[in-house]
Amino acid sequence: MSRALARIGSKLPQGWGDAGRQLGILVLVDIAYELVRGIADGQRSEAIANGQQVIDFERSTHALFEPSVQAFFLSARWVIDLANQLYLNAQFSIALGFLVWLYLFRNESYYFVRNMFVVSMGFALIGYTLYPTAPPRMFPEHGFVDTITDFSNVNHDSSLAKVFINPYAAVPSMHCAFAAMIGCTGMRVCRHWWSKAWWAAWPLLIAWVVIVTGNHYWVDVALGWMVAAMSAVVAQRLLARARPDAWSWRSGSPQEAEA
């Protein structure tokens, strides 16, 4: 067993010690994020009022198109099922899988991206605390449909889910923030045209997913992308100055595995 662990450790970019440290950082940050996100939810009346405010803003600018987008796709059950699965799984399976791949095969770029993720979670918690907002799915009177509850039989408003998930955390969309950070990184570190094209399309695909499932307004999408951009600036202008050799943005070397 020790030989097998040593053999695996020798293939890790920085050995077992650094791999364990990075895993611990991600786990601790995610636990803290989910706990604070769950505890810091606002009153339902305030969240509903803020959600109505977003809807009124979009209607006043003639940009309340989300119900029409949902209505267009609702008749195609397989499309809705795909969107539901992407919404439920992409935040963890794709995001976590990408970070693992980045750590193993583009290690020079990993630490900058990790810092972006951590900073973005901090920005998101500020938004959730100061402006708790009910998602579109809570406004069926405006034509929104909760596709995950209605089609996938998953109740994300259950008492158990609310222990760790704030149902009023629509602004900003962290699905879109994570997708933007992953997509931009993937375009820069991947070398084949098809992989670059996939990651370029990923933020747009997730934006469609969060809208068609009734979980976010387009305003949330824009704010999520803004959070991603601000996190990149903070990671580069502030955090990278603390440890420029480790935390600055660096692309993978040509000798590393391609993807």
Q: Which one has a higher pLDDT value, 13 or 133?
A: 133
Q: Residue 54: name the closest of 170, 164, 227 by CA.
A: 170
pLDDT in tens, 154-169: 666 555 455 445 678 8
> What is d(CA 203, CA 88) in angstroms, rounded to the nearest whole number?
16
Residue 33 pLDDT: 75
Domain-embedded: residue 73: yes
Average pLDDT over residues 53-72: 96
Q: Is the pLDDT of residue 80 over 90?
A: yes
Q: At what angle do helices 193-212 and 218-234 cross, to 10 degrees?
A: 130
> Residue 77 domain-assigned?
yes
Question: Which of 25-39, 73-87, 206-220 shows the lowest mean pLDDT across its residues?
Answer: 25-39
Stretch 112-138: mean pLDDT? 92
Question: How large a percentage of the chain has pLDDT more than 70?
Answer: 84
How many Cα atoms within 13 Å fall on the side-chain side of residue 244?
2
Q: Give a yes or no: residue 208 inside a domain.
A: yes
Beta-bridge partners for 133: 169
Q: What does the alpha-carbon distance between residue 186 and residue 74 come to, in Å, rounded to a whole number?
A: 31
The 10s digit of each residue's pLDDT in 191-243 is 899 999 999 999 999 999 999 999 999 999 999 999 999 999 999 999 988 88
Residue 166 forms part of a structural domain: yes
User: How many domains is the chain partitioned into structurally?
Assistant: 1
Residue 177 lies in a domain: yes
The predicted pLDDT at position 166 comes to 67
Residue whose tokens read 């993937």? 186
Residue among 123, 160, 155, 163 at smallest CA distance from 137: 155
Measured from the Cβ of residue 90, the count of other Cβ atoms closer than 10 Å reads 20
Q: Which structural domain range is residue 135 located in? A: 2-247
Which are the contacts of 52, defined by CB distance < 8 A and separation ≥ 6?
A: 139
pLDDT in tens, 100-121: 999 999 999 999 999 999 999 9
Per-residue model confidence (pLDDT) at position 95: 87
Q: Rounded mean pLDDT of the chain?
A: 85
Query: Is residue 149 very low, low, confident or very high in pLDDT (cuts 50, 70, 90)?
Result: confident
Could you give the angle at which helices 95-105 and 174-189 cross, rounded to 10 degrees? 30
- Within a domain: residue 88? yes
Determine the pLDDT at residue 109: 93
Of 188, 182, 190, residue with least CA distance to 257? 190
In a domain, 255, yes or no: no
| Cα radius of gyration rounded to whole Å, the chain | 20
Q: How confident is the model at residue 250 (pLDDT cuts 50, 70, 90)?
A: confident
In the predicted model, what is the mean pLDDT of residues 84-106?
Answer: 88
Report which of residues 22 and 157 the model is more confident about.
Answer: 22
Query: Which is higher by pLDDT, 14 or 211?
Result: 211
**Looking at residue 158, what is its pLDDT?**
55
